[in-house]
Amino acid sequence: MENSKKLLIGLIFLLILGNVYFVTQCLVSRAQLRTANQIIKNQQVNQKTLFFYQLFVEKVLSGQKEVSFDDRLQLENAVRDIGDAEIFSQWQKFVKGGAPEEVQKSLYELLRLLIKKVY
């Protein structure tokens, strides 16, 4: 009888240790999943930012012709899709226009901001 009690207590102790181990592994896995999800989200934003940058260079900076309404709409949708308020605000400053010096400055700030956000 004494041995079976010791065996039962030992078994319960092992089960408790096993539960502690698995709970710890679960918490570690959750933290890793959160980190992985954040990395994926950042990569998606970077991809959208680079897409907008490429589109902007092709449609606006190529300077071969005036930017069409469809191209402006595509650029507007692409910049909104990024989901970054700072980039959108700088885009709005650029679109408003103004004196050539102001447009050039807002263009520089927009391009600088896009690259900064990716890195």
Q: What are the C-alpha distances in Å from 32 to residues 22, 26, 27, 28, 46?
A: 15, 10, 9, 6, 21
**Residue 78 confidence (pLDDT):** 94
Each residue's pLDDT, cut to its tens digit, for the chain (119 residues) gives 788 899 999 999 999 999 999 999 999 999 999 999 999 999 999 999 999 999 999 888 887 778 888 988 999 999 999 999 999 999 998 888 788 888 888 889 999 999 998 88
**Residue 95 confidence (pLDDT):** 87
Collapsing DSSP states into helix, strand and coil, what is residue 113? helix
Give phi and psi for 97, each to the nearest 5. Answer: 80, -140
**Residue 40 confidence (pLDDT):** 95
Neighbouring CB atoms inside 10 A of 111's CB total: 16
| Closest to 91 (Cα-Cα) out of 41, 38, 53 | 53
CB 87 within 8 A of CB 113: yes
Helix axes 85-96, 100-118, angle to 10 degrees: 160
